[in-house]
Structure 1
Amino acid sequence: MASVKPTAILIVHGGYFLPPAWDALANRLRKAGFVVQCPRLPSCGDGRPPTAVREHDVAVVRKEAQELIDAGHSILVLAHSYGGMVASDAITQDLYASGGTGVVSLLYLSAWLLQPGDSLEDVFKRHGFQSKVDLGNNGDGTVFAKNAPESFYNDIEFETAEQLARDNVTHNWGAALGPMTGAPWKDLPTTYVHCARDMAILHPLQQSMVQDAVTAGGKLVIETIDTGHCPFLSQPEEIVRIVESHVANVK
């Protein structure tokens, strides 16, 4: 469907992160010639009790995409972890490329890839709860990773991992619940990047979700890298390589 190469990258971050976690990768991508935006998802680091749900995250991503379109850009949407759910619901056909501007392709980075009508509960029922994240519950609608150094940053030196974990935020658990509505990966060129050492979404679960998507009609290009859940921190140059390869092959 896409006929132009992406000139901008819209990063949709994960549930326990904020945009500054992506600064190192974003700066590398800018040096590679892309305009890069990473808006903050309201459900991440929200007030307590939280007020933002997935619909608020979707609205932020759609607004950012429209601003990039209005500025004349064609867009690659790069979604990580929970951001995959947000991106899939946010990128509807009205944002697809037309006349040289709009969303032309997608890259899911160890992200939740769900079918329309499915929820996380459905995925867990189908494939099992394949995650080593030890979720702490604040009792007010927010959750946090009690073992972030091990589950998010297991491919990073432990002292650095502990420091990174201090920057993690709470997530409104309700934002991750409820059924999905969108599947832009059925229409647009899509790459799924498996993180083979991921402890947050285990590699077999990533593979099962991708197989479900292929069965449902998605034509996904697969990349596999030997990293944990956050290669944008542990191996940003590898993510730049994957992005450039993806862009080169967009047709």
Structure 2
Amino acid sequence: MKKWTIITALMLFVHQLSFAQNNNKTYILIHGAWHGAWSWYKVVPEMTKQGYKAIAIDLPGHGNDTTNPEIVTFRMYVDKVKEVANRINGQVILVGHSMSGTVISQAAEELGINKVNKLVYLDAFLPRNGESVSKLAGMIFQTLPQETDTAKVTFAKGIVTAPNGKTRTFKPEVADVVFYHDCTPKDKMIAHKNLCSQAVEPLGATVSVTDGIYGQIPKYYILCTEGKDLDKSLLPTRVKCEKVIKIATSHSPFFSQPKELVKIFTSL
């Protein structure tokens, strides 16, 4: 057998082995604030078509989950992820978008290294112990004031806080600018129809994670370089990541570049 034929055969074997290993794991896709499982309507079918196991879930108070958002807590988010993960045979890969970076971090700490194969942060809040979404957002604004002042003002214009202070909604017309500037009219229409109230408590809740568990689970960060919500490039420099992958999209690549996003997911 010629040398090049042997090399080709070995490369094919390695690819097949990698696919088989990933195929035995289930990707759990977790949406960000104001969103739901509907965010992944292009991604899940694409992953399934390629032979991967992937499910998208609604956190309490989001999507088809009818829990009153006024009573939703960070603990309820984490427990939902754990419940879903524990129903699945074998290991899981937790993928968290935006706000859900803190959710998958806490869930991974409690599920443990034998259950969670890796963590994937999609333009998400990547915390250290004792940090929250609100704390990380505030830190970024303070660290990069010149670059984020405009984004901060625009983002703030989109938020409408309920009189009791327990929930916030987001104006669809501002979401088009902040979240979906490179998305199709159809995707924007779907988002406008499905954006929901966001509980405030989970945004301020801090994670309690350890080096012995959370610190030992491989982490991968996907940075959306064209995002207009908040520049998160600082975050993966503060917590060890196996790899940081950049994708030139808005904060919503699951809409604008789903095939490229799936390619990234399945290459990690």
Match of 1:37 in 2: 55
Cα distance in 1 between the residues matched to 2:138 and 2:42: 37
Q: Which has the higher helix share?
A: 2
2:64 is the counterpart of 1:51:
no
| Deviation larger for 102-111 or 156-165 | 156-165
Match of 2:197 in 1: 170
Match of 1:85 in 2: 102
Verify the 8 A CA contact 2:126 2:236 in the aligned structure 1. yes
State the shift of 1:223 in Å. Answer: 0.4
Verify the 8 A CA contact 2:27 2:53 in the aligned structure 1. yes
Counterpart of 1:211 in structure 2: which amino acid? Answer: T
Higher relative contact order (CA 8 A, sep 6+): 1
2:237 is the counterpart of 1:211:
yes
| Deviation larger for 166-175 or 232-241 | 166-175
Match of 1:109 in 2: 122
Query: 5+ residue gaps in structure 1?
Result: 247-251
Identity %: 21
Q: Deviations over 1:63-107 (max 9, x none)?
A: 111111xx2x2221111011111111111254322xxxx211111
TM-score in terms of structure 1 length: 0.83
State the shift of 1:119 in Å. Answer: 2.7
Q: How many residues align?
A: 229
Match of 1:249 in 2: none
- The alignment partner of 1:38 has SS state of strand
2:188 is the counterpart of 1:150:
no
Work out which of the two has the higher radius of gyration on C-alpha atoms and give 1 or 2.
Answer: 2
- The alignment partner of 2:160 has SS state of strand
Match of 1:118 in 2: 131
TM-score in terms of structure 2 length: 0.78
Counterpart of 1:105 in structure 2: which amino acid? Answer: K
State the shift of 1:122 in Å. Answer: 3.0
Verify the 8 A CA contact 1:149 1:162 in the aligned structure 2. no
Residues 162 and 180 of structure 1, relative CA distance in 2, 3 Å threshold: same
Q: Deviations over 1:123-143 (max 9, x none)?
A: 244331644422111223111
Q: Deviations over 1:28-68 (max 9, x none)?
A: 11112122222211143666561111100100000111111
Q: CA RMSD in A?
A: 2.2
Cα distance in 1 between the residues matched to 2:129 and 2:91: 25
Cα distance in 2 between the residues matched to 1:162 and 1:35: 28
